[in-house]
A and B are shown apart, each in its own frame.
Chain A
Amino acid sequence: MAEAAGSAELAQVPAVPLGVEIPPEPPEVGSRQLFLGGRMLAGSALFFFMAFGFAYFYLRSLDVEHMWKPKGVSASEGWGAAIVIVLVASGLLAVAAGRMMGKGSRAPQAGWLNVALLSLLLGLAAVVLQCIEWSTQSFGPASGAYASVFCGWTALYTLMVLGALYWLEIHIATEFRARRHPAPHSDIADPDRLIQPGLDAAVFFWSFTVGLGILAWAILYPISS
């Protein structure tokens, strides 16, 4: 019976005791997993924010009680633009870092590290700007439907930014550590396979996040009035 499904020896495989290390998958499998994982996470995030996008257009079209956007509720265009510009710059830098890293193994000269670091810092700057905007804005979450969508969306989007930045950050941190403790003494057995595929997925996710941010900006600022 066994022949049919797979190799005949299968049934005779000796039981392996517990606590035994499972050999890791080959690197290309790991990198495809991260690739797919990143894309699917992006899909989930898209549907997540789509719910807010739908809320935006739906409530706006209904304008119940004329409370969509009562007088005095308007987000500051200036801050909005500042945030999105910083985000885009960071995203572009991240993509550039990904390119510099190259495929296969990570380039030893590693100019990518500084670029990625800059991208990370800009991303954090966007978060700081967002916080400043919140603390200076003229309305709160309770001032109508637009205010609700605005506050809900920006808050959750900021969380997503932090998540994506974390993903970027772990690769930078790994690279730093791998450099501080070079190969023979390192606890990072194989920096190549830890960093390159991971960075690829992280850069994708970060640029996706930035893309979502542009969309959010367009909806929340220019076309909201």
Chain B
Amino acid sequence: MAQPNHFRRFMAIWLLSSAVITPVSIILLAPVIPPGNASVQAAGHVTDNEVLLAMSIPVLLLVVIYLVYAAMYFRESSGAVSEGPAIRGDSRVQIAWIVITTALVLGLAGYGSAELINDGAGSGQGPNPAFPAAGKPLKVQVIAQQWMFTYRYPSYGGIETPHLVIPDNQLVQFNVTSIDVIHSFWAYQLGVKADANPQQNNIAYVTPTKLGSFSIRCAELCGIWHGYMYDTGRVVTASAFQSWINSQQKKFAPIAKELPPYATTYLPTPSGRGT
């Protein structure tokens, strides 16, 4: 039987196509990979996704090309039952596979951890962040309740506003909490997501780098109107932020007196049904 050397042929096809398809698709996709570059953290996520793509496209191609190859060459086209070679394994292939996948996985985990340790990558880190971002942050408290977000600025007298405005190129520390059930504060373009838990403070860092608005969504099921719990925030220049916060201080001065003093958490309102 003049069998072609399937192993070499397949490897050649795979290596070649990976070498072409992986960089091409990453280059093509790079501009559209969410969440974009509206903040340092978001840009980090994009890089992260690129790394993941670079790892997974070859794996994807390996299996998919193999399946197609097998369907083309390793079939009994007559449909009759005929026996194949009784190969039960090959320890070299197995060892190579184990080594390579292990290396990939460790590499990925290492890279992801490095990314995370940098500044928490915009995700909620609980009350005592293990991976704080460097710099002096502007604190903004996000208070979630069924079914809206409100925001308090502790360094501006703890005023509470219904809108989120933050200055650009400034490290912002979101202190996310809830006064009833679990919600999740998700600023899509900024690459920030942190659950709002009752009686818990959840800190996330972000450094916005682009002026403009970003959408805010509740990302954890919180009851009937969860689907309508969204909002829009704005990133403005530092001076615009100053004037905005001053106007807010004036506007909400009467209400500010009624507010409970600023705290990291507030006593949850008793759950809806009582007992």
Residues on A close to B: CB < 8 A? Answer: 64-65
Q: How far is the CB of B33 from chain A (nearest CB, A)?
A: 38
Which residues of chain B from 175 to 216 have a CB within 8 Å of any chain A CB? Answer: 199
- Across chains A and B, which 3 residue pairs bring their CB atoms closest together, nearest first? A64-B199, A65-B199, A65-B267
Residues on B close to A: CB < 8 A? Answer: 199, 267
The answer for the CA separation of A65 and B198 in the assembled complex, in Å, is 11
Q: How far is the CB of A19 from chain B (nearest CB, A)?
A: 38
| Cβ contacts under 8 Å, B267 to chain A | 65
The answer for the CA separation of A95 and B267 in the assembled complex, in Å, is 52
The answer for the CA separation of A64 and B197 in the assembled complex, in Å, is 12
The answer for the CA separation of A148 and B113 in the assembled complex, in Å, is 38
Tell me the nearest residue of chain A to B275, going by C-beta.
A142
| Cβ contacts under 8 Å, A65 to chain B | 199, 267
Tell me the nearest residue of chain A to B199, going by C-beta.
A64
The answer for the CA separation of A64 and B267 in the assembled complex, in Å, is 10
Tell me the nearest residue of chain A to B198, going by C-beta.
A64
Q: How far is the CB of A65 from chain B (nearest CB, A)?
A: 7
Q: How far is the CB of A121 from chain B (nearest CB, A)?
A: 39
| Cβ contacts under 8 Å, B199 to chain A | 64-65
Tell me the nearest residue of chain B to A64, going by C-beta.
B199
Q: How far is the CB of A116 from chain B (nearest CB, A)?
A: 45
Tell me the nearest residue of chain B to A142, going by C-beta.
B275
The answer for the CA separation of A64 and B199 in the assembled complex, in Å, is 8
The answer for the CA separation of A64 and B265 in the assembled complex, in Å, is 11
Q: How far is the CB of B34 from chain A (nearest CB, A)?
A: 35
Q: How far is the CB of A13 from chain B (nearest CB, A)?
A: 24
| Cβ contacts under 8 Å, A64 to chain B | 199
The answer for the CA separation of A44 and B268 in the assembled complex, in Å, is 35
3 A-B pairs (CB sep. < 8 Å): A64-B199, A65-B199, A65-B267
The answer for the CA separation of A65 and B199 in the assembled complex, in Å, is 8
Q: How far is the CB of A151 from chain B (nearest CB, A)?
A: 15
Q: How far is the CB of A129 from chain B (nearest CB, A)?
A: 30
The answer for the CA separation of A144 and B199 in the assembled complex, in Å, is 15
Q: How far is the CB of B84 from chain A (nearest CB, A)?
A: 15
Q: How far is the CB of B49 from chain A (nearest CB, A)?
A: 34
Q: How far is the CB of A127 from chain B (nearest CB, A)?
A: 29
Q: How far is the CB of A109 from chain B (nearest CB, A)?
A: 57
The answer for the CA separation of A217 and B267 in the assembled complex, in Å, is 33
Q: How far is the CB of A63 from chain B (nearest CB, A)?
A: 11
The answer for the CA separation of A65 and B270 in the assembled complex, in Å, is 13
Q: How far is the CB of A134 from chain B (nearest CB, A)?
A: 20
Tell me the nearest residue of chain A to B267, going by C-beta.
A65
Q: How far is the CB of B183 from chain A (nearest CB, A)?
A: 18
Q: How far is the CB of A156 from chain B (nearest CB, A)?
A: 21
Q: How far is the CB of B171 from chain A (nearest CB, A)?
A: 29
The answer for the CA separation of A88 and B201 in the assembled complex, in Å, is 45
Q: How far is the CB of B83 from chain A (nearest CB, A)?
A: 11
The answer for the CA separation of A64 and B201 in the assembled complex, in Å, is 12
Q: How far is the CB of B260 from chain A (nearest CB, A)?
A: 15
Q: How far is the CB of B180 from chain A (nearest CB, A)?
A: 15
The answer for the CA separation of A157 and B199 in the assembled complex, in Å, is 31
